[in-house]
């Protein structure tokens, strides 16, 4: 699959094996085509079970996983080994997108990203991404890579609007993938979002996801129940008008669940 689907299923904290497999299969059979996981989530095998269970051909699914520097290693050999282990756990021959999960641990742009390029040449991954990178660390990666950077996955939602990263992604021609697009449930308590939800007779979650897409990013909300998986998916039918988007843009409140400034590598 070449294009990044407009919405994906996040699997962070989806640690119960049966529940994880069921939620992945449910999402795929409902119409989702983007599944996001990571080595450090400890659920790649369960995600693979869900992929195998769903009656959806592998070549119709955009599958992404990540290599984390704290749980394994972002050295050249560490990246190669971890990526191959991820394929084994997922039960696939390749992933569509492989991320550097954080610029931490023994992350070294030249060494780490050369391993990612080697994996791309091997066919282990079709695309290279980074996650939790600020513009400066993205630019360093862009300088090192000889192939295009496909995406940067970051926290983004109406309470953390990431204007700088959105502009940077557009300028440098990579995608911004939004995790925690519902601000871990905070969007349900924002009056502006609740008002827009009532106007369109939809949930606050759908409003938040539609806003993220309107800004040019790709949300990957996590969900385990069929009800929430469906509600999130139905956001694809919601079109916010200019007034709605402006009202959300003007929200005077910021919530950041992942603080890059406090991170040990900063």
CB 63 within 8 A of CB 28: no
CA angle 90–60–226, rounded 5-degree value: 70
Is 242 exposed, middle or buried, given 0-12, 13-18 or 19+ CB atoms closer than 10 A? exposed
What are the residues whose beta carbons fall under 8 Å from the beta carbon of 202, sequence distance 6 or more?
234, 235, 238
Residue at token pair 């806003």: 211
Question: Taking the alpha carbons of 24, 220, 138, 172 in that order, is the dihedral positive or negative?
Answer: positive
d(CA 127, CA 149): 7
Catalytic residues, by residue number, are 41
Residue at token pair 């039960």: 91
């Amino acid at each position: 699959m070449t294009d990044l689907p407009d919405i994906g299923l996040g699997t962070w904290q989806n640690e119960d094996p049966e529940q994880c497999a069921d939620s992945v299969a449910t999402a795929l059979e409902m119409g989702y085509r983007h599944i996001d996981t990571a080595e450090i989530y400890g659920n790649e095998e369960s995600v693979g079970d869900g992929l195998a269970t769903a009656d959806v051909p592998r070549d119709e699914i955009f599958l992404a996983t990540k290599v984390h520097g704290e749980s394994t290693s972002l050295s050249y050999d560490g990246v190669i080994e971890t990526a191959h282990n991820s394929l084994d756990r997922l039960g696939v021959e390749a992933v569509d997108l492989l991320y550097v999960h954080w610029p931490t641990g023994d992350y070294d742009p030249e060494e780490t990203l050369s391993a990612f390029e080697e994996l791309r040449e091997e066919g282990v991954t079709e695309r290279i991404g980074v996650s939790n990178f600020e513009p400066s660390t993205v630019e360093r990666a862009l300088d090192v890579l000889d192939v295009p950077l496909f995406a940067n996955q970051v926290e983004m939602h109406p309470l953390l609007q990431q204007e700088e990263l959105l502009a940077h992604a557009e300028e440098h021609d990579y995608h911004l993938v939004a995790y925690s697009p519902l601000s871990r449930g905070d969007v349900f308590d924002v009056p502006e979002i609740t008002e827009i939800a009532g106007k369109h007779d939809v949930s606050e979650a759908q409003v938040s996801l539609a806003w993220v897409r309107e800004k040019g990013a790709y949300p990957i909300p996590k969900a385990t129940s069929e009800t929430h998986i469906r509600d999130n998916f139905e956001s694809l039918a919601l079109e916010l008008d200019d007034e709605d988007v402006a009202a959300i843009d003007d929200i005077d409140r910021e919530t950041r669940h992942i603080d890059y400034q406090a991170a040990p590598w900063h």
